[in-house]
Structure 1
Amino acid sequence: MEFKSRPNKAHHIGDRIVWESRSVAVNGVVILYLPDNPVPYVLASRRGPKAADYHGCMNLLAGYMDWDESGPEALYREGWEEVGIDLKSLVYPEKDNDCLWSEIISNNIEQPWHVKTEPDENRQNISLRYGVALRMKDSVLPELSTENNEVEGEVDFAEWLPVNEIGDYIWAFGHDKVIKEY
């Protein structure tokens, strides 16, 4: 039987063997509906000058999984590092009175709603797409911040963008299409 794949490479570093293989990225679509606005908002950020690529383009929560973390844990970490949002507490508040939403419209935070494994684009990354859509109790969007960026300048700014404006921006990684799919 023949396969078109190539074997992963082994690198010998001291007494360890490190395998070179494809990377796993997480993407997160966070959509909030406010009670007094028919247009929902999506969490987006603009890639800064210290981002690896696509400088100045918009993107969703996105990043690579670290060792010893699950997909949802990677998404929670990226949310905190990139835009200063505690996504886990937003979706799963510890106390009822901490709950900012009145309804969960869709929740794909624990299991991805799409897995992309095709090797023909984006450096052959494997992409796990997560998402959540919430109807908020009040007309207040959660605050965002770039002060937790692991690399200063990785993110220029974060914002809640009305979904009817996503076509006004240039997006990295086809994230505008990902928003529409979700």
Structure 2
Amino acid sequence: MLKEGFSLLAILITFVAFYPYIQSIRTDTSQPHVFSWVIWGSATCVVFLAQMEDNAGAGAWSIGLSGMIALWIAFMAYLQQGEIRATRSDWGFLVLALSSLPFWYFTADPLWAVVILTTVDALGFGPTLRKVYRFPYSEKLLFFILLGVRNVLVILALENYSLTTVLFPVVVTLACLLLISIAVYRRRVVSF
């Protein structure tokens, strides 16, 4: 029962974290990049499936929800005629993300899919980290704080602890902490 409680709290935080962003799309104050959200959504959904394959149980529910929300954001962005152009690196990330499925199939081990997709997700933080360093007020830190807390709850809710089930939420939590740390440090430096 405790694991399910952590998972339900993680699901609640997922909704709280994404709600303002979805509202900003509806009011045309945000124009998400369709391709990026397709990559994030599909990658997160595959991580969810890999975690479920490795008996993550309730701990994976919030990851699955995040993947579905990301795909919904991609769909909303498409309907809104958001940014659709894709660069070579966008295509590279998509191909890398999709390569996780054959690795999983041929090795019969979901860990390979999680390793590839976690790498894609971590690399995806790169441009945002660079942007936050240059423009420390350009991101709402509450989203990344909530995402980090949500992932700690995901880890606590896992019913099976293995590299397959733990890797993705740990790396995303560390990436969020790094982004928050850079933003807080740069905000102090810039304000002087």
- Structure number with the higher helix fraction is 2
- Normalised to the residue count of structure 1, the TM-score between the two structures is 0.28
- Structure number with the higher strand fraction is 1
- Normalised to the residue count of structure 2, the TM-score between the two structures is 0.27
Larger Rg: 1
